[in-house]
């Protein structure tokens, strides 16, 4: 048995785990990432990196790779509700073009699948100092005031090794055991059903002409004996597609379907009775709406599906997993590097759990609208515009300095931002064609037009041993979006959230007090 120490041990190399390792490395903290499977996912699912995710990935230097790994979004990706792929649409959610969010973000959405996204994140994590061990399972762990001790098993050799870490990140998915071992419960709608995923090849060039990349939600009672719901979606491989249909494992197992039955399911979904189909693979999955009652306990933190499991309707499950890593990593790094107090880590649960509730609730409501109207009971969340959920959410507390009139968590229209602490820093185009968003990602940033605040940032940063990068801005309308005057300043965290602002003139002592509050010092 061998023993070694790492600052952070991450269990699970999905989108959440690989992104946590990547962003920790970006902040100078090495990690050990273990995964029981022999490689990253080979499933063409969780497609799409939304605007806020691409902003974060640009800081890590992988945004261009992620864009190249997916298809060209200028081709569009219609999202259609229909009975079959060839039948008339019941409703079209997205047309042939993606919405233009250039007034809200400098980023452009990418459309890489999980199969292609995970290796990009993993490779960059290695470049930034992470160690990845595949075919390695967490056997047990314990924690105390000094750290976490874990036993890992090499599934190929059977060797057991002991690792100590300052912190453990549970990225072991919705079937993972770490949350349960901690005794953390969950809330939500619970299990919503089971689905069969069919990966197949077929010549559908004429069927999908002009819609080579598309997502169809199918309301078809012939497709599923359970609820009459399913979906059809393109993959990254030309001529290869996915059909999903609901099934009940208590009636029959997922592996009991013959190949002929799967071919018939595909034909029903497409709407062509004699379609030539080659079954490539099949898999079973579950659909659930569950949010952990706590996102952390002691030195252990939940990210991704371990923290929040949601229906896939809306495409934010994978994005939320990546962003969990982004929002957690800078806080872990600040504590590991001695720049912040331990209590900073308490803000992870305070900030991210309400957001997990929001996004999971939106995905559940989307599922009802798109494919499961029979689940409507009047208690589901009202659907809000996606730009408000992605860029307009504001934290109820946590690592921010709230203002006296702060009204708590919620969402705002990012096209009309308030600039309040706890909200996403607004995007403003700068004279050099860059954005205010491009200024963030690695350190605290102080935005101002006053030289006095530039001097204050230098003094405070030196006293606290923390980088506070001052930026003198000269861009039309930026102060209005950030809600400050000509002599004011706004402090932005590494994750683009506003930590504090001085609407008017202030002192270095004001800035230092704000930094100490945010960093729990």
DSSP bridge pairs for 447: 471, 490
CATH of domain 425-518: 3.40.30.120
Q: Is 59 a catalytic residue?
A: no
Residue 96 confidence (pLDDT) above 60: no
Residues 210 and 88: beta-carbon distance below 8 Å: no
Structure tokens given for 321: 């997993």
**Closest CA relative to residue 414, chosen from 44, 95, 103, 46:** 103
Average pLDDT over residues 290-317: 93
Residue 443 confidence (pLDDT) above 90: yes
pLDDT at 1: 40
Average pLDDT over residues 387-397: 92
Residues 65 and 99: beta-carbon distance below 8 Å: no
CATH of domain 188-288: 3.30.9.10
Rounded to whole angstroms, how far apart are CA atoms 78 and 120? 26
Rounded to whole angstroms, how far apart are CA atoms 347 and 455? 29
More confident residue, 371 or 337: 337
Q: How confident is the model at residue 47 (pLDDT cuts 50, 70, 90)?
A: confident
Distances (CA, A) of 359 to 84, 286, 292, 440: 28, 18, 13, 24
pLDDT tens digits for range 115-142: 899 999 999 999 999 999 999 999 999 9
Given 59, 71, 167, 217, the catalytic residue: 217
Residue 2 confidence (pLDDT) above 60: no
Residue 451 confidence (pLDDT) above 90: yes
Q: How confident is the model at residue 284 (pLDDT cuts 50, 70, 90)?
A: confident
- What element of type H or E holds 458? helix 451-464
Rounded to whole angstroms, how far apart are CA atoms 219 and 216? 9
Residue 228 confidence (pLDDT) above 80: no
Phi, psi of 229 (to 5 degrees): -120, 155
What are the counts of helices (DSSP H) followed by strands (DSSP E) for the chain?
12, 22
More confident residue, 52 or 312: 52
Average pLDDT, the chain: 91
More confident residue, 225 or 430: 430
Residues 325 and 20: beta-carbon distance below 8 Å: yes
Average pLDDT over residues 452-468: 97
pLDDT at 77: 64
27-31, 212-216, 283-287, 471-475: lowest mean pLDDT where? 212-216
Q: How many other C-beta atoms are found inside a 10 Å radius of the C-beta of residue 493?
A: 23
**Closest CA relative to residue 414, chosen from 201, 176, 150, 107:** 107
Domain boundaries, the chain: 3-71+108-186+289-375, 188-288, 425-518
Residues 15 and 46: beta-carbon distance below 8 Å: yes
pLDDT tens digits for range 239-260: 899 999 988 888 887 788 999 9
pLDDT tens digits for range 493-512: 999 999 999 999 999 999 99
pLDDT at 48: 83
Rounded to whole angstroms, how far apart are CA atoms 286 and 247? 10
Residue 391 confidence (pLDDT) above 80: yes
CATH topology of domain 3-71+108-186+289-375: FAD/NAD(P)-binding domain (3.50.50)
> Beta 31-35 vs 3-11: how paired, if at all?
parallel
Residues 33 and 13: beta-carbon distance below 8 Å: yes
């Amino acid at each position: 048995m061998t023993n070694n120490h790492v600052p952070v041990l991450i269990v699970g190399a999905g989108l959440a785990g690989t992104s946590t390792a990547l962003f920790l490395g970006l902040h100078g903290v090495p990690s050990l990432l273990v995964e029981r499977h022999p490689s990253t996912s080979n499933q063409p699912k969780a497609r799409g990196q939304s605007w806020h995710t691409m902003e974060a990935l640009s800081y890590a230097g992988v945004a261009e790779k992620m864009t190249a790994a997916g298809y060209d979004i200028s081709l569009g990706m219609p999202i259609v509700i229909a009975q079959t792929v060839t039948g008339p649409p019941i409703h079209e959610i997205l047309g042939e073009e993606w919405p233009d969010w250039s007034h809200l973000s400098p980023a452009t959405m990418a459309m890489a699948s999980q199969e292609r996204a995970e290796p990009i994140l993993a490779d960059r994590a290695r470049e930034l100092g992470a160690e990845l061990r595949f075919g390695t399972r967490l056997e047990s762990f314990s924690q105390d005031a000094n750290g976490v001790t874990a036993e890992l098993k090499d599934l190929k050799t059977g060797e057991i090794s002991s690792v100590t870490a300052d912190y453990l990140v549970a990225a072991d998915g919705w079937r993972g055991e770490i949350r349960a071992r901690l005794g953390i419960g969950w809330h939500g709608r619970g299990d919503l059903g089971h689905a069969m995923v069919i990966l197949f090849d077929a010549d559908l060039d004429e069927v999908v002409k002009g819609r080579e990349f598309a997502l169809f939600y199918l309301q078809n009672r012939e497709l599923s004996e359970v609820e009459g719901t399913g979906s059809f979606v393109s993959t990254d491989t030309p001529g290869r597609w996915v059909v999903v249909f609901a099934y009940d494992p208590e009636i029959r197992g997922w592996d009991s379907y013959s190949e002929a039955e799967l071919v018939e399911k595909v034909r029903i979904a497409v709407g062509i009775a004699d379609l030539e189909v080659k079954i490539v693979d099949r898999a079973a999955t579950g659909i659930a709406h569950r949010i952990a009652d706590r996102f952390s306990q002691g030195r252990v933190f939940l990210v991704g599906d371990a923290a929040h499991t949601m229906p896939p309707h809306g495409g934010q499950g994978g994005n939320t997993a990546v962003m969990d890593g982004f929002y957690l990593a800078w806080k872990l790094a600040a504590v590991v590097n001695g720049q912040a107090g331990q209590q900073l880590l308490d803000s992870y649960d305070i900030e991210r759990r309400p957001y997990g509730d929001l996004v999971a609730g939106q995905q559940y409501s989307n599922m009802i609208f798109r494919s499961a109207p029979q689940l409507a009971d009047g208690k589901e969340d009202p659907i809000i515009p996606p730009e408000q959920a992605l860029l307009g959410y504001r934290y109820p507390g946590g690592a921010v300095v709230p203002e006296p009139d702060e009204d708590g968590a919620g969402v705002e229209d990012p096209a009309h931002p308030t600039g309040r602490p706890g909200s996403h820093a607004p995007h403003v185009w700068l004279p050099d064609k860059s954005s205010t968003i491009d200024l963030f990602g690695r350190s605290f940033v102080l935005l101002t037009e006053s030289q006095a605040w530039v001097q204050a940032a230098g003094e405070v940063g030196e006293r606290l041993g923390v980088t506070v990068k001052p930026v003198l801005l000269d861009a039309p309308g930026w102060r209005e979006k950030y809600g400050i005057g000509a002599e004011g300043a706004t402090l932005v965290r590494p994750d683009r959230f506003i930590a504090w602002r001085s609407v008017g003139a202030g002192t270095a002592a004001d800035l230092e007090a704000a930094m100490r509050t945010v960093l729990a010092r």
